Amino acid sequence: MNENKVAIITGSGQGIGKGIAERLGKDGFTIVISDINEESANRTSLELIEKGIESSSFVANVSKKEDLVSLVDQTVEKYGNVDVFVNNAGIDQVDSILNITEEDLQRIFQINVFGTLFGIQAAAVQMKKQGTGGKIINACSIAGHRAYSLLGAYSATKFAVKAWTQTAAQELASSKITVNAYCPGIVGTSMWDRIDEGMGEYMGLEKGQAFEKFAEGITLGRTQEPADVANFVSYLASPDSDYMTGQAVLIDGGILFG
């Protein structure tokens, strides 16, 4: 059994996932970096190790259940336990509702919706074996609270993530496993670069203008950094959140209220 608690973060080679990995590493967790991109996963894990954080990296495609089962199995083989599992991996899609194809839906649902469920299942099975509880944390979005024009498919997947979060919280509570979700807003990552580009094409805007247009509605007056999200995930991963489950919490600087 590893002396430290162990956290697995999917899609953590870059962006918000990397920020979460860095923060949980500072909190004392052993960090398992998982990403479909082997190069970025290895690079991020090495960066953590250079900072004195115990870390390993494993390649996994979250759309494949067997990959997530293997990810958990490899983690247990190396460290002995899984205490926190963060379903962070996800993709975006910008398109008119009239243009969305079956192939589009299959791709984004396979990663954002199926991938989250597969992660919940793989983590919960191991946590129940351990008998000491655990924390499953899912990536939702402001788009899981309100659907946005041109982000229909993405919004639909995030509403589904919120449903998985609530259902899993109810079913796993007896095993002392809590399930919650974080819902970011406008974060300066490569995902929002793609959203900005796609929306710019539809709206006739130059690069960066769509991003700025969305950012105008942030009450705190600035866009997010990955660390803003990671700070909240740190709470969800800590004992301080032990009495919290089934929640999908907005962490968006004040875009939506409720």
Annotated binding residue 14 = yes
Annotated binding residue 80 = no
Q: Where are the alpha helices (DSSP H) in the chain?
A: 15-26, 38-50, 65-79, 102-109, 115-130, 152-172, 190-203, 209-215, 226-237
Annotated binding residue 251 = no
* DSSP string over 143-163: GGTS--TTBHHHHHHHHHHHH
Tell me how far the alpha carbon of residue 220 is from its chain's centroid: 23
Annotated binding residue 53 = no
CA end-to-end distance (rounded Å), the chain: 41
Cα-Cα-Cα-Cα torsion 237, 241, 242, 247, nearest 10 degrees, comes to: -100
Cα-Cα-Cα-Cα torsion 154, 155, 156, 160, nearest 10 degrees, comes to: 100
Q: Are 17 and 227 in contact (CB under 8 A)?
A: no
Annotated binding residue 17 = no
Annotated binding residue 65 = no
Annotated binding residue 79 = no
Annotated binding residue 16 = yes
> Would you call 182 a catalytic residue per the annotation?
no
Q: Are 159 and 112 in contact (CB under 8 A)?
A: no
Choose, from 79, 148, 154, 243, the residue flagged as catalytic: 154
Annotated binding residue 108 = no
- How many Cβ atoms are within 10 Å of 29's Cβ, its own excluded? 25
What is the residue whose two structure tokens read 């909240």? 232
What the block records as the tokens of 194 is: 């793609």
Annotated binding residue 188 = yes
Annotated binding residue 35 = yes
Binding site per annotation, positions for NAD(+): 14-16, 35, 88, 154, 158, 184-189
Q: Give catalytic residues, as residue numbers.
A: 154
Binding site per annotation, positions: 14-16, 35, 88, 154, 158, 184-189
